[in-house]
Structure 1
Amino acid sequence: MKILILGCGWIGEALANRLMSEGHEVYATTTNSEKYQRLQAAGIFAIKANFDEPIDQSDFPSHIDFVLNSLPAVKRLDWSVLTARFEAARALLKQLVYRKHIFLSSVGVYPDRDGDFTEETILDARDNKLLAAEVCMQGLPHTIVYRLGGLFGGQRIFAKYFQDKVCTTGAQCTNFIHQTDVLNLIQLGFLNQLSGSCYNLVTPESSSKKEVILASAAKYGFRPPVAFDDQECFQKHVSSHKIRQVLDYTFVYPSPLDF
């Protein structure tokens, strides 16, 4: 297989290395010189490309099997920058021949309030930059959107970020996912027929953030927060039932307490 990864971040690089180990041909874009060298050293066809600047299409293969698109649509971006970034990506992909395109979005597309959220939840498009990026990418053929929960695994350990701090979100429920399950679901998504155009990727089981912090602190030897002060207590629960049902997938890490 020939795979193109746009925006080779933490998930993209892990996928690139896995696919390389399986004997596939991988192309990946980055704006980072150090990562460019690291990708090349791993045998990956690295492409220096910043989608906020003009793109040289000749750097890209014209025919590929699959595209993983993890260009970020972070909230701090100005609308003009975000629009230009994803229009540039869409213009590039329109010129390429591919079988399937998976765009990595986030469960941050759902509002931070009490509620149960599925792919069928009607969203307010006002000031929702993640949703705007999704809509832009869904204008391309053969496109699937994966809305990822909070990403953990490897050196990304939840307790690490709360050592000696006051945690104000401990009462909230988690919407997390382990890197291993993300990689598995990307590969399965490439190779299997998916009936929908959008899927949530979060663990089937949820815990409070406080429980996960304390469990990961004990497991990996991090100091716990100095205090839990529950100021932000909304219960936003995102369901991954749809992707589990469509792909008949059993999570390797079904609970964030397993991370």
Structure 2
Amino acid sequence: MKIAIIGCGWLGKRLAKHLTGRNHHVIVTTTSPEKVEELKEVAAEVHVLDFSKDFDADFLNAAEVAIFSMPVSRHSWFEGFKKLGTQFRKSLFFSSTGIYPQQNGIFTEEHRENLRRDLLASEQLVTTKYPETIILRLGGLMGDERSLKNFYADRQPPDPKKKVNYIHYGDISAMVELLLSADHQNKPYNIVAPEHPTVLEVLNADQEASKTSSNEDRDRIISSDLFIKEFNYKFIHPNPKYF
């Protein structure tokens, strides 16, 4: 299958390596010419594509599937995306669980109140242009060098009792591969590890410690139950303590 990862950053590079290893023809884009040679190690084709400039994206015509993995916080993303003329058989869009309110509670895909406006606008733009798009709302990206111990190596976490909503890139890769052959309707899915330890528990994962008492009404929890149920998915990395 020919798959285009449009916006090949930290996650895109790992996803490209995974899909290439499964014998897919992977096309990736980057805004940085200096990253082209590096990305050639994980993809069959590498192209420079910058939505903030005039661009020619005819190379995308060969792709059957598009995976949109670009930061959407910039106005140039919206303007550039509108100019894409390629049609795809299927597309996936990496959004974020940051779309949900920053307040306590359990958030499922059914929650539609007070969603973050820029992320909601990006989801709506993508699904308007490509109605068959499946939206993946990703939790905090973890794995390899991305760990809380590295983030807080020289400082204390501001809220050590806060429960985390993280996802390992290995599960994202497996989920994407599953979706490539799935016949499911376009809708959003929360992509978050099913276990939610506290920041302190993750930092002290190698120590024996009493488990922090759970009070989900006082924590912000993003539920991935819908994806688990619909795809009978078993997480490779269910607990962020062991990422």
TM-score w.r.t. the length of structure 1 is: 0.84
1:56 shift after superposition: 1.0
CA distance in 2 between partners of 1:194 and 1:175 (Å): 25
Measure, in 2, the Cα distance between the counterparts of 1:183 and 1:11: 9
* 2: CA distance, partners of 1:129 / 1:137: 12
Deviation at 1:43, TM superposition (A): 4.8
Q: Residue type matched to 1:128 in 2?
A: R
Q: Distance in 1 between matches of 2:38 and 2:24?
A: 18
CA distance in 2, matches of 1:40, 1:116: 41
Whether the aligned pair in 1 keeps the contact of 2:13 and 2:42 (CA below 8 Å) is: no
Report the equivalent of 1:153.
143
SS of the aligned residue for 1:167 comes to: coil
Output one character per residue of 1:153-196: Cα deviation in whole Å (capped at 9) or x when no partner: 11112111112312112111110011100110111112102245
1:85 is aligned to 2:85: no
Structure 1 position 198 matched with structure 2 position 197 = no
AA of the residue aligned to 1:116: I
Q: Deviations over 1:114-152 (max 9, x none)?
A: 111000101325x62111111111112210110000111
Structure 2 length-normalised TM:
0.89
* Structure 1 segment 164-243 matched on structure 2, within 5 A: 164-215=154-205, 235-243=219-227
Cα separation, 2, equivalents of 1:163 and 1:41: 31
Count, aligned residues: 232
Q: Residue 166 of structure 2 contacts residue 192 of structure 2 at CA under 8 Å; is this kept in 1?
A: yes
Give, in whole Å, the separation in 2 of the partners of 1:54 and 1:72: 18
| 1:119 counterpart SS class | coil
Q: CA deviation at 1:102?
A: 0.4
Following TM superposition, the consecutive aligned residue runs of length 4 or more in structure 1 with deviations greater than 4 angstroms are none
Q: How has the CA–CA distance of structure 1 residues 42 and 70 changed in structure 2, closer, same or farther, with 3 Å as cutoff? A: closer
Equivalent residue, structure 1, for 2:91: 101
- In structure 2, the partner of 1:135 is 124
Counterpart of 1:221 in structure 2 is none
Deviations 1:177-231 (A, max 9, x none): 1110011011111210224510000011111111112216x6xxxxxxxxxxxxx
- Give 5+ residue unaligned stretches, structure 2: 208-217
**Counterparts of 2:239 and 2:186 in 1: how far apart (Å)?**
25
Structure 2 partner of 1:224? none
Contact 2:27-2:43 at 8 Å conserved across structures: no
Q: In the alignment, is residue 250 of structure 1 matched against residue 234 of structure 2?
A: yes
Q: What is the deviation of 1:34?
A: 2.8
Q: What amino acid is aligned across from residue 195 of structure 2 in structure 1?
A: E
Equivalent in the alignment of 1:69:
68
Instruction: Give the conservation status (yes or no) of the 8 Å contact 2:2–2:65.
Output: yes
Judging changes above 3 Å, is the alpha-carbon distance between structure 1 residues 244 and 90 closer, same or farther for their aligned structure 2 residues?
farther
1:62 deviates by 1.3
Offset at 1:41? 4.4
Is the contact between residue 63 and residue 98 of structure 1 (CA under 8 Å) also seen in structure 2?
Answer: no
Q: Compute the displacement of 1:98 (Å).
A: 1.6
Q: How does 1:30-69 map onto structure 2 within 5 Å?
A: 30-58=30-58, 60-69=59-68
The root-mean-square deviation of aligned C-alpha atoms, in Å, is 1.7
Per the TM alignment, residue 55 of structure 1 is displaced from its structure 2 partner at its CA by: 1.7
Identical residues among aligned pairs (%): 33
Aligned to 2:106: 116
Query: Residues 86 and 137 of structure 1 are in contact (CA less than 8 Å); yes or no, is this contact kept in structure 2?
Result: no
In structure 2, distance between residues paired with 1:151 and 1:72 = 14
